[in-house]
A and B are shown apart, each in its own frame.
Chain A
Amino acid sequence: GQQLNQSPQSMFIQEGEDVSMNCTSSSIFNTWLWYKQDPGEGPVLLIALYKAGELTSNGRLTAQFGITRKDSFLNISASIPSDVGIYFCAGHRGATNKLIFGTGTLLAVQP
């Protein structure tokens, strides 16, 4: 099935640094969602975006729905050790309820 392309694939940063990751597709999406998955757990929703151009924040996290509706980015400011995990973008195309997930970005934070 189709997947969204995320970059970078992995990031190793120092505590306190800012992080940016993005998600791209060749198709238009109607929603963009960002999830965090801890090892052995299900994904947890961080931010949901519903309109092209929308910029939304959740604490230290900020995400934007690209104007072309084919991309989205997630920024994490002042990273802390508990930010460690895998971040997935996901989205809906058309009127479907099905979520298509990105390839994931592994984030490691060095204290």
Chain B
Amino acid sequence: GAVVSQHPSRVICKSGTSVKIECRSLDFQATTMFWYRQFPKQSLMLMATSNEGSKATYEQGVEKDKFLINHASLTLSTLTVTSAHPEDSSFYICSARVGTSGNQDEQFFGPGTRLTVL
């Protein structure tokens, strides 16, 4: 099956620093990647949709200057949390979509990255 990896799995940083999270599709090319955020005991909330070679589309309420997304290839998308603050501490999960035939294409999820901002 399709495998999506994330790196790092955990990161602890000081307030004010920037953190980069990588999302890779290991055995397939992903036309679209998605970034989600999940707070403790809550559901996954979509942050942005990322298409290779174009600008990401952000959901309402998500600051694009704070959460920088780069999708340079069909197998790699990165999320950079700039000037991180404690309230950015969360579980960040990416997914990669296989195919181009519409919403019946499956999304495969990465294992997530736990960000803790001190």
Contacts and interface: CB of A to CB of B under 8 A. Distances in A.
A106 to B, nearest CB: 8
B117 interface: no
B111 A41 contact: yes
Contact of A92 (B6, B32, B93, B103): B103
A50 B104 contact: yes
Nearest to A104: B43
B118 interface: no
Interface in A68-111: 88, 92, 95-104
Contact of A41 (B49, B95, B104, B112): B112
Contact of B60 (A1, A30, A41, A45): A1
Interface string B86-101: 0000010101010000
A101 B95 CA distance: 13
A3 interface: yes
A102 B43 contact: yes
Interface residues of A, number: 25
A92 B105 CA distance: 11
A35 to B, nearest CB: 8
A42 B49 contact: no
27 contacts: A1-B45, A31-B104, A35-B109, A40-B91, A40-B111, A42-B4, A42-B93, A42-B109, A42-B112, A43-B109, A45-B106, A45-B108, A48-B104, A48-B106, A50-B104, A88-B43, A88-B44, A92-B103, A96-B103, A97-B49, A97-B97, A99-B46, A99-B95, A101-B45, A103-B43, A104-B42, A104-B43
Interface of A: 1, 3, 30-31, 35, 40-45, 48, 50, 88, 92, 95-104
Closest 9 CB pairs of A and B: A42-B109, A92-B103, A101-B43, A101-B44, A42-B112, A42-B93, A42-B111, A43-B109, A42-B110
